[in-house]
Structure 1
């Protein structure tokens, strides 16, 4: 199992971006059952927000892109009080958003790698053993 963030999943849609070819194997591993993907419950909000506000897609295409990611049947984990508190600590310690910290918390909880394509986030967290970059 791996935890991946929205930046990687969005490369499945916008594969021509830098690193798009490296994101594909994660999708394939999940679809074939070789490497299940876990996300936290805020993941789909992040995906929808990017598609709604940060792309040039029209509403129909944005909805289709969102549906595509939704239908990958990712394993979604909620955050409890302990996870939020750990996330707040990580957020302050590394100067990252709570959304990003939640991925690290989930990876630690599940004992698996956290994969991102966000280079800025990677620079801030590069010393964490759970972290992988696409």
Structure 2
């Protein structure tokens, strides 16, 4: 089980740096080799990033929304311990609530968190479960 953030999932739909590594995670998930769990805002964040990339029109974004739904990720709502830990991490590490929700979920579940956001990785230095997507291995 792993927690990827939106910066990783976006790379499943656009070719950019580390898209190959991100797609290795996607393929591992679709082949049943790893489970993916994420905070519930992930689909919104992915669609928003793709919309703002300028590379996707309305119909393409609708298709991406369907693909994201079809993946059937386990989605976690922001409540209870996840809400508390998210706020703590955001305040203590100087990161967004969105970013903190992924990190908090991985921390609570004792699983690895994958991101392509190098700035975020620097801010989370010292948290051994935080990994760059380039480090993903089956």
Q: Contact 1:12 / 1:27 at 8 angstroms: preserved in 2?
A: yes
Q: 1:127: how far off?
A: 1.6
Write the distance in 2 (CA, Å) between the matches of 1:20 and 1:81: 34
Tell me which moved more, 86-95 or 4-13: 86-95
> SS state of the match for residue 71, structure 1?
helix
> Any runs of at least 4 consecutive aligned residues in structure 1 with deviations exceeding 6 A, and if so which?
none
Compute the displacement of 1:86 (Å).
1.5
Partner of 2:25: 26
Partner of 1:75: 74
Residues in 2 aligned to 1:51 and 1:2: alpha-carbon distance in whole angstroms: 23
Instruction: Kindly report which structure 2 residues correspond to 1:1-134, keeping only aligned pairs within 5 A, or say none.
Output: 1-14=1-14, 16-134=15-133
What displacement does 1:52 show? 2.9
RMSD of aligned Cα (Å) = 1.3
SS of 2:120's partner is helix
Rounded Cα–Cα distance in structure 2 between residues aligned with 1:82 and 1:113: 18
- Offset at residue 21 of structure 1 (A): 0.7
Hey, what's the Cα distance between the residues in 2 that align with 1:105 and 1:13? Answer: 25
Contact 2:47–2:64 (CA under 8 A) maintained in structure 1:
no
For the 8 Å contact 1:2–1:37, the answer to whether it is kept is yes
| Structure 1 unpaired stretches of 5+ | none
Structure 2: runs of 5 or more not aligned: 134-138
SS in 1 for 2:105: helix
> Greater CA deviation, 111-120 or 70-79?
70-79
After superposition, the Cα gap between the structure-2 partners of 1:37 and 1:59, relative to the gap in structure 1 and judged at 3 Å, is same
